[in-house]
């Protein structure tokens, strides 16, 4: 993992001498991506900056790389895993002058031209300057694992691994693309068949597409795009059996893990309780990995952290439980730094947790420069398919829901056709009529697969890159090997249900390799499910800090005030503050992030390598999970303590009321506002307790009076205490008889 950047004239002129200062500024902004070495090149129309993180051949791999004849200059961020195999096939007499895995690209290009990436296996983003032809090439790997952004005008083009580096150039615009950002499906959490280029969130900032080479002529700027790889479709003629697919998948995954585990420095592994990271851990060849598991309220309450601990125990690996408890509330400055590092409004709980894990690993094991991940397995291998089928659904339900989703989106583009599907509840047209031009009209799963491919670039590999890079670490993703993905994409429609439901192909491939309790364990989450309310509460507290400082800063720019309803945002935050369990913080957080990004572009923050000091990350040592479970939960999940000898009562600004027209509905009225609704039928025990807690009885006495059980109301009681609806004071001893 490195940081590459530079500038090139595309009007036929040479760069001025002062361009060296810009190269230095670009490199400084990207210092976090490559702390081991920095090199600058300024020559004629092209300037290049390179910051190196050395994982392969640390002593001999500095860049830019230059061909033997001096005609080709190259900078690369990433890894070419099959470089030895590729080098062996070069023309006789070719001599590589460094130990860099990327040097082979110089000579592949000289031999094969624009076809030079066809057989390359790796993750990379590169800039290649062909001096003899006067062209600049930009390229990325097949999944966009490594980023490369650029801005161009009629005279020059500026490029960098991260957007923030482009802003070091005074002529690059610094404006959020509000209309596109607000309409992005991933941003507003709308499910949909989304294809095509991802958004960079900023106006006039371009991102080189995955699997693509851009060729830019330095005399005039003429640009052509060469697509060297595309996601394949199903192979309906395949005669492979299910067993053949599983066996091939196992072999390809093992080969990919071996590739990703190639390094001359230490590697670590993020280990959850699921099968994906466990598969990587089991297949990593001959390496004693340090593994890291997120210890959050979600992972503790859903058993995922225990699963990570157990997996490491069964595989004989050292496991570090990184404590990110419900009381770990980022400060406003911490959050601004994280959003600036990630440079996406999609920064949320997962991004925060991943960053903290990388930070712990790097600070405590400075020799670790690469981190193996189980990322992308769900998107590619069917991990989310049961979610789309609905609770208790099957493959037919999944396909039916995809068909409905495809039709709904098509009708958004052709709304006048909608009434044909709404005629007395009976459709009068076939789906082909509404979207005949769609390449996925006859295969909705292929459309779903292409959508997941795009989501990987827009969200997954984006944040995995930044959270790792922000700590001087390279993220490695074995499940994003193009051979593996091509195999899955080509599975015929008739075999998908057997192989892809709940990642069956992965689970079957790991038979005999992983212990059964790990191989069959259901997927867990960082923060969804039972732990979501704790995450919501922590991040709501973060937004509410210092008089809602982050929200007010997000509203500070003219564009933010133009697009955002300030009163609506403040009301939403106020409601979440009063009741963090009643909604998700994520959508509000994304809007705030967008405003923060725009504000920070007006006055650029320091580079991530100079960000403010954060609290020291903490490890919770776990020897025996079963014996220590109560203490683990108490340390991670901070809840108001319930004492049955205390006297509880509604706070002075809270009133319990009902409306005569709705006798089944009761409300907790806070400061005159109806904040919480309670159903007399569904929450009878909770309602009875609230009506009894008048400040005269202890909790034990109130429960006895209502025939209630503490276990039935404990969570609601803790939530009411956390948001200040209930207050408590010690009970008094019974007065003496007179």
Q: Supply the residues annotated as catalytic.
A: 2
- Name the packing angle between helices 304-315 and 275-283 (round to 10°): 20
β-strand pairing of 266-270 with 290-295: parallel
Q: Which residues does 301 contact at the CB level (< 8 Å), separation at least 6?
A: 529, 530, 531, 633, 637
355/376 Cα distance (integer angstroms):
18
- Cα torsion angle, 642, 648, 652, 655, sign: positive
Q: Which residues does 179 contact at the CB level (< 8 Å), separation at least 6?
A: none
Q: Quick one: which of 516, 519, 514, 579 has its CA closest to 544?
A: 579
* Residue 543 and residue 552 in contact, taking contact as beta carbons nearer than 8 Å: no
- Read off φ and ψ for residue 729, nearest 5 degrees: -150, 155
Strand partners, 216: 136, 223
Q: Quote the distance between the C-alpha of residue 461 and its chain's center.
A: 7
Strand partners, 370: 267, 474
β-strand pairing of 474-476 with 618-619: unpaired
- Read off φ and ψ for residue 352, nearest 5 degrees: -60, -50
Q: Quick one: which of 716, 692, 694, 687 has its CA closest to 704?
A: 692
β-strand pairing of 618-619 with 318-323: antiparallel
Burial 49-70 (b: 16+ CB within 10 A, else e): bbbbbbbbebeebebbbbbeee
Q: Quick one: which of 447, 480, 45, 429 has its CA closest to 229?
A: 480
């Amino acid at each position: 993992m490195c940081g590459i950047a530079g500038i090139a004239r595309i009007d036929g002129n040479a760069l001025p001498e002062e361009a060296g200062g810009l190269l230095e500024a670009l490199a400084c902004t990207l210092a976090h991506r490559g702390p081991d070495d920095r090199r600058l090149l300024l020559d004629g129309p092209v300037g290049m900056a390179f910051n190196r993180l050395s994982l392969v051949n640390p002593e001999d791999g500095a860049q830019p790389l230059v061909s033997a004849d001096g005609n080709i200059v190259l900078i690369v961020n990433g890894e070419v895993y099959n470089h030895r195999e590729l080098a062996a096939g070069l023309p006789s007499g070719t001599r590589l002058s460094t130990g860099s895995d990327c040097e082979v690209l110089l000579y592949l290009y000289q031999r094969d031209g624009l076809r030079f990436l066809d057989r390359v296996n790796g993750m990379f983003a590169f800039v290649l300057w062909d001096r003899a032809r006067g062209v600049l090439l930009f390229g990325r790997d097949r999944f966009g694992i490594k980023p490369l952004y650029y801005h161009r005008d009629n005279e020059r083009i500026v490029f960098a691994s991260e957007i923030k580096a482009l802003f070091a150039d005074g002529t690059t615009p610094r404006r959020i693309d509000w209309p596109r950002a607000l309409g992005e499906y991933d941003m507003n959490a709308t499910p949909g068949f989304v294809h095509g280029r991802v958004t960079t969130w900023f106006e006039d900032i371009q991102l080189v597409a995955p699997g693509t080479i851009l060729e830019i002529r330095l005399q005039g700027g003429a640009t052509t795009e060469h697509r060297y790889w595309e996601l394949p479709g199903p192979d309906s003629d395949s005669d492979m059996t299910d067993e053949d697919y599983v066996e091939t998948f196992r072999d390809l995954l093992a080969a990919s893990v071996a590739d990703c585990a190639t390094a001359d420095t230490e590697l670590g592994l993020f280990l959850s309780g699921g099968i994906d990271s466990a598969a990587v851990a089991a297949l990593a060849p001959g390496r004693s990995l340090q593994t890291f598991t997120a210890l959050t309220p979600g992972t503790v309450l859903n058993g995922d952290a225990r699963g990570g601990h157990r997996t490491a125990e069964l595989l004989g690996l050292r496991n570090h439980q990184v404590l990110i408890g419900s009381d770990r509330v980022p400060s406003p400055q911490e959050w601004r730094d994280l959003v600036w590092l990630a440079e996406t409004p999609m920064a949320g709980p997962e991004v925060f947790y991943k960053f903290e894990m990388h930070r712990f690993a790097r600070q405590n094991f400075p020799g670790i420069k690469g981190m193996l991940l189980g990322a992308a397995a769900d998107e590619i291998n069917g991990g989310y398919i049961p979610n789309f089928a609905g609770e208790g659904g099957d493959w037919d339900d999944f396909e039916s829901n995809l068909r409905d989703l495809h039709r709904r989106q098509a009708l958004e583009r052709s709304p006048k056709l909608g009434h044909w599907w709404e005629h007395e509840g009976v459709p009068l047209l076939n789906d082909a009529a509404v979207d005949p031009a769609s390449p996925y009209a006859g295969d909705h799963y292929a459309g779903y697969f292409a959508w997941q491919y795009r989501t990987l670039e827009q969200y997954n590999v984006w944040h995995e890159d930044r959270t790792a890079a922000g700590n001087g670490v390279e993220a490695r993703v074995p499940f994003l090997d193009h051979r593996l993905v091509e195999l899955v994409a080509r599975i015929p429609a008739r075999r998908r249900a057997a192989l892809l439901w709940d990642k069956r192909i992965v689970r079957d491939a790991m038979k005999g390799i992983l212990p059964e309790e790990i191989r069959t364990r259901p997927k867990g989450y960082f923060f969804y499910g039972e732990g979501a309310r704790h995450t919501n509460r922590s991040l709501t507290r973060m937004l509410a800090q210092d008089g809602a400082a982050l929200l007010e800063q997000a509203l500070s720019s003219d564009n933010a005030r133009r697009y955002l309803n300030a009163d609506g945002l403040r009301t939403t935050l106020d409601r979440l503050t009063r009741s963090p369990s009643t909604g998700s913080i994520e959508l509000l957080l994304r809007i705030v992030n967008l405003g923060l990004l725009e504000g920070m572009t007006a006055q650029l923050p320091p580079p991530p390598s100079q960000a403010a000091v954060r609290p020291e990350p903490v490890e919770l040592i776990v020897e025996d999970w079963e014996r220590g479970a109560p203490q683990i939960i108490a340390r991670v999940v901070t809840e108001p303590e319930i004492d049955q000898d205390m006297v509880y009562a509604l706070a002075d600004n809270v009133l319990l009321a009902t409306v005569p027209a709705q006798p089944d509905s009761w409300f907790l009225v806070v400061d005159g506002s109806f904040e919480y609704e309670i159903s007399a039928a569904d929450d009878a025990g909770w309602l009875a307790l609230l009506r009894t807690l008048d400040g005269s009885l202890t909790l034990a006495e109130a429960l006895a009076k209502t025939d209630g059980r503490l276990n039935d109301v404990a969570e609601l009681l803790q939530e009411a205490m956390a948001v200040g609806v209930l207050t408590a004071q010690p009970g008094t001893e019974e007065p003496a008889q007179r």
